[in-house]
A and B are shown apart, each in its own frame.
Chain A
Amino acid sequence: MIQVRELTKAYGNKAVVEKVSVDIHPGKITSFIGPNGAGKSTLLSMVSRLLDADTGEVLVDNNNVKKMKSNEFSKRVSILKQSNFMNVRLTIRELVSFGRFPHSKGRLQADDIQIVNQALDYMDLMSMQHMYLEELSGGQRQRAFIAMVIAQDTDYILLDEPLNNLDMKHSVQIMKILRRLVNELGKTVVIVLHDINFASVYSDRIVALKEGRVVKDGPTNDIINSESLREIYDMDIPIQQMNNCRICVYFNS
């Protein structure tokens, strides 16, 4: 369990995240939703230690993250940021192997190689493992990064808008993979999402932020209703039930 306690981050006088307290339940997908500038990414960055909080604390399995060694932390929590652009020429296999870095410091042992192979297999990347990242499409590249995180083998996986710039097919593919990670491997996934319907269909819990504060926090079914959505987005959004999915029809509201 990740416990976020009274986390605050301000730039100048403006608080981007203000006294946020949230529990991330293990073995679940938790989506962070909310309008632009609500502080979703900032919150995720603080939880993953990429950003220092002004006040408040984050506990991972009852350990204060500030007191954890960075190597220990990187064996428990991994994060993928939204911009995965990099002009480093690495093959998929090399990238995924670097996921073992916290464990092996770059000297891969036999079991590391096996874990890398499993991760490549799991993401269906084995056949193109020697291709360079720059040769891949957006969806393939995103899969390569997720494979790296799988190889990193952390209990908690945090993803900052992983569906950015992906088409529908690849977005669905990535979300299904995350679902499998939770169901089959028992991972805990926290994800910042823009598309409310992906949050509705795939997540177990939703945390809604607005102007740096938590406005809703609970199981998906408790949040995906017109009343709560109005509070979050200031929009009247009808909900349609289809094949056990609740779809928010926000396009013409």
Chain B
Amino acid sequence: MKKRYLIIALILLSLLSLFVGVSHISPKDLLDFRSEETEIFLISRLPRLLAILLAGAGMSITGLIMQQLSRNKFVSPTTAGTLDAAKLGILVSMLLFTNTSTIEKMLVAFAFALGGTLLFMKILDQVKFKDAIFIPLVGLMFGNILSSITTFFAYKANVIQNMSSWLQGDFSLIMKGRYELLYISIPVLIITYIYANRFTVAGMGEDFSRNLGLAYRRIVNIGLILVALITTTVVLTVGVIPFLGLIIPNIVSIVKGDNLEKTLPHTAMLGAIFLLVCDILGRVIIYPYEISISLMVGVIGSAIFLYMLFRRKAYA
């Protein structure tokens, strides 16, 4: 998994993504600045590409941080209740304040995502039986409890249809003006890179971290804040993208190990590539219609996840 191959793949797939879609746009059309094609390109195609890149990189990095901090390869926003907590937060913001602005929604959802993840980590501390599979199961149950609370109140308030649009990750609605929140991922990714070494040390456990003079609790909290931030922005703009945070870091870990400073760029790029491939496939399989990204990633991702479970003994 050489970095330069990943970069080449990323560029090629990005170009492909820009020119796949219902309306035909060729690079030549873009030379005319006022053509309809150029407009579609700038309003829809380019934002879509950027959203995919940011969401793909962001979600895989959140998974990586969570796996490192929980010291479990199967923990991710999907399997720790983070996504479900964010959804509950969005519902709460919709019920409490009508006409909420995106920023308000974001803050409430962020608070919930952070709270949910912290609660999960607290549960983890209490669990004596730390089997690699048992912990994500606890997380899934925890997520389902949050999710059923969300469904119940959404049903009561008659917003269940509205909510289900948050359930399905979907890039077809991404346009200029509707994805910019995702740019929050960029500073978050930079901070993650700066803290990479500390996260690696924290991944070796509390005693180990303290031996090396690391403020363990603070690093864990910073990591969870970063996770909640990225998850919230992705859920708010794109919707839920399952499995990404689970499979991408694991694939990179098998090949390149767990030294975050070394593996972060690979993880971010592979996440973006994987999401791009899923998105392009989803757009061409039943052309001119689209299969939503959450379905595509769900199908491909769960297959890879199952494969990883079966060969778990080999590396986890």
Contacts and interface: CB of A to CB of B under 8 A. Distances in A.
The CB with the most chain A CB atoms within 10 A, among B71, B132, B211, B261, is that of B211
A50 B212 contact: no
B258 A48 contact: no
A186 interface: no
A88 B200 contact: yes
B316 A50 contact: no
> Helix, strand, loop or mixed for chain B's interface?
loop
B208 A48 contact: no
Interface string B243-283: 00000000001000111010000000000000000000000
A191 to B, nearest CB: 15
Contact of A91 (B68, B132, B197, B257): B257
Contacts of A91: 257, 259
Interface string B5-43: 000000000000000000000000000000000000000
Interface in B291-316: 315-316
B213 A70 contact: yes
Contact of A88 (B204, B210, B211, B261): B204
Interface string B199-226: 0110111011011111100000000000
A62 interface: no
Contacts of B210: 49-50, 70, 74
Given A86-B204, A98-B197, A102-B213, 18 more contacts: A48-B211, A50-B210, A70-B210, A72-B213, A73-B213, A74-B210, A74-B211, A75-B213, A79-B211, A86-B203, A88-B71, A88-B258, A89-B253, A90-B200, A99-B212, A101-B212, A101-B213, A106-B201
Interface of A: 48-50, 70-75, 78-81, 86-91, 94, 98-99, 101-102, 105-106, 132, 134, 152
Interface of B: 68, 71, 73, 132, 196-198, 200-201, 203-205, 207-208, 210-215, 253, 257-259, 261, 315-316
